[in-house]
Amino acid sequence: MNRKLLLISNSTMAGEAYLAWPQKYIQDFLDAENVKKVTFVPYAGVGLSEESLEASYDVYTDRVSEVFSKLGIEIVSVHNSKDPVKLIQESEAVAVGGGNTFHLVSEMQKTGIMDTIKERSSNGMPYMGWSAGSNVACPSLMTTNDMPIIEPPSFNCMGIIPFQINPHYLDANPEGHGGETRQQRIEEFLVVNRKMKVLGLREASMLYIDNDTMKLLGSRDARLFEFGKEPVEYKFGSDLSFLL
């Protein structure tokens, strides 16, 4: 499979500007593929405007455009296209933003762009996503952290990678919270989906995938979960190609 993927855990670190921390990685990724225009998928951006979903998509697209314009990259959003499938078919690259994964998956399936992005990104088109945008590269949305605010036609996602990501992975609950830890939630998933692997991708980390090689980039370690096994920590900079 000819894949060029950048799967980012989170867009913003506390106290930093939007997409500030991964900006260098994004620029290197796009420059390496000589990309000048990126098609943006804003469907995870719910509630950014009180007017309507369309207005929220406008706000989200403007926010992303402001960052990418500094890199010399033009942003075009699928929500402004009368034929989003055709737009994806003709795109140099695609970026899928974070937000609510359930709403993102629902809209990607209803518009038909999920299958088109899968086909193109499995055949060399550069793809990047952060948070929910990383989730949809997995086989399903089942390891998202988000509330199911809408019921998509299916939980199935693109499966460009054969394992699940849990973005924003936390090792423990916040002080005073007595509910399940993130690890416990992932272990529940693995009881039901015993053949699947789940990578807990901490904030300030990402996966860079080039064909059949994959590296953990950023400044945080990642934690790999498999059914019946103790979780394993992998240092940033590790080669994780074995997961592909």
Q: Which helix (H) or strand (E) holds 214?
A: strand 213-218
Residue 227's SS3 state is coil
- Separation of alpha carbons 199 and 202, rounded Å: 9
> Which residue among the candidates 49, 65, 122, 168 is catalytic per the annotation?
168
**What are the start-end ranges of the H helices in 90-220?**
101-111, 113-121, 132-135, 182-192
Quick check: is 146 catalytic? yes
> Which residue among the candidates 131, 134, 140, 205 is catalytic per the annotation?
131
Residue 48 CB coordination number (10 Å): 18
Residue 199's SS3 state is strand
Quick check: is 103 catalytic? no
Tokens of 159: 């499966």
Query: What values do phi and psi take at 68, rounded to 5?
Result: -70, -30
Quick check: is 168 catalytic? yes
- Separation of alpha carbons 40 and 97, rounded Å: 7
Residue 238's SS3 state is coil
Query: What values do phi and psi take at 46, rounded to 5?
Result: -105, 135
Amino acid at 207: L
> So which residues are the catalytic ones?
131, 146, 168
